[in-house]
Copies of this chain bind each other. A is one copy, B any other.
Amino acid sequence: MVTLNDIAKMANVSKSTVSRYLNNGSVSQKTKEKLDKIVQETGYQPNAMAQSLKATKSSMVGVIIPRYDSPSTNQVLQGIDSVAYEKDIQLMITNANLDLERTKKNISLLQRQKVGAIILFATEIDDELANQIKSSKMPILLVGQKLENSPSFIYQDYEAGKIIAQHAIDKGHRKLLFVGVTESDYAVGVLRKKGFYDVAERNGASVEFIETGFSRSYSYEKALEFLPKTAATYIAAATDHIAIGISNASAELKISIPDELSLSGFGGYSVTQNVFPHITTVNYPFYKMGETVMKKVVQVLNQGTENIDDLTELQVDLNIQGSTNKI
């Protein structure tokens, strides 16, 4: 591997001259031409680690994702990437694999790499992690969860629940079923449900509740059981994947959507377009989330962590498709 020192020797100049040539450029025309030629021939590329070491920090930004195959995360990543690419910031993406311990390890890994900031897609935050975040000298931005005194970026989950309930009400439904998940997931399990209940009850509708898991296949099995029994005319699934499972089950049971039953999800994943009829859902602005967070990172990199809002909420909007209809 050819180094700056090698180049300097070949050109019979000092390291500093070569470095100056590569950076600012107070170099004479003659040496510039000489170096042009040598750098060209050798294909010299500066060692990024040596540069970062001298600068005592790297030009990278760390990202901790929960897992690779999450469509929402990937859309957020696209948004992050678009801004990062534009600003010439290199991302260092690490996978926590839905493991809290691995999340903590990844934070310290990124700290050792001296990244400029960390974007953390948090699913669960325990006390230890909260402490690690708070005591970090390196700015850590949270996506999808909020934490006191840390810049957090979340979706309007409570609002989303309200929007869907209002839609059901508007379509004339009064017997509703909310198919949700465990309350240990605050955004999905608590907020969406609460928003839904609040609007439904305010309008005098009855709401049943059934708990299922996040997987499509489990929800499908569950739906095969509860669909024949329920009196509801409108089912609000807490995620699009759950909705897909229910959609599959109703196809199997020859229950027609939307004629006999209306069905909606949350998320706005493209999977809702994969079934027919397409599923009404609440669109979450994943891509925009990425852009927003990354722009904030750029700001933090330039100005430090002062004057940064603690909480940024991104708006959601209703996406009406063929799966919901008037009663």
Contact = CB atoms under 8 A, between A and B. Distances in A.
Interface of A: 1, 45-50, 52-53, 56, 58, 67-69, 71, 74-75, 77-78, 81, 85, 90-95, 97, 102, 108-109, 111-114, 137, 216-217, 244, 247-248, 251-252, 270-271, 273-276
Contact of A46 (B95, B112, B244): B112
A48 B270 CA distance: 40
Nearest to A113: B48
Nearest to A69: B74
Given A50-B53, A274-B275, 19 more contacts: A45-B112, A47-B112, A47-B114, A48-B112, A48-B113, A48-B114, A49-B53, A68-B78, A69-B78, A81-B95, A91-B95, A92-B93, A93-B93, A216-B270, A216-B273, A216-B274, A244-B274, A248-B276, A274-B274
A316 B49 CA distance: 41
A113 B49 contact: yes
A254 to B, nearest CB: 11
Contacts of A67: 78
Contact of A274 (B56, B92, B248, B252): B248
A115 to B, nearest CB: 10
B271 A274 contact: yes
A67 to B, nearest CB: 7
Contacts of A251: 276
Nearest to A270: B216
